[in-house]
Amino acid sequence: MVSGIEKRAQYIVAAIHEFSRYAGLTPQQGYRYLALHGAVEFLDEHYEAEHLLSFEDVTQDLARVAAMAGGAIR
């Protein structure tokens, strides 16, 4: 059985992969970009709401959060 923490981690990894695909980055590059601009922390902090959204909406949220912290990907 998968624990809540494991589900959360799997979701965050999946969201990073979706963002990376959207941005044309490798998953490693996408993670570094999102982590540098606070979007991974945002996703973890707001998991309860974000995991109810489509990956398209989550990708846009991550892009917005990163842009507000100086990221260039929109």
What is the per-residue DSSP string for the chain? ---HHHHHHHHHHHHHHHHHHHHT--HHHHHHHHHHTTHHHHHHHTHHHHTTS-HHHHHHHHHHHHHHTT----
Residue 31 has pLDDT above 90, yes or no: yes
Total number of domains constituting the chain: 1
Task: Specify if 59 maps to a domain.
Answer: yes
73 domain-assigned: no
pTM of this structure: 0.92
- Is 28 a member of any domain? yes
Q: What per-residue confidence (pLDDT) applies to 74?
A: 83
Question: How large is the average pLDDT for residues 53-58?
Answer: 97
Residue 37 is predicted with a pLDDT of 98
Would residue 47 count as lying in a domain? yes
Q: Which helix (H) or strand (E) holds 18?
A: helix 4-23
Does 33 fall in a domain?
A: yes
Residue 1 has a pLDDT of: 81
Residue 24's domain spans which residues?
A: 4-68
Take residue 53 and report the two structure tokens written for it: 């959204």
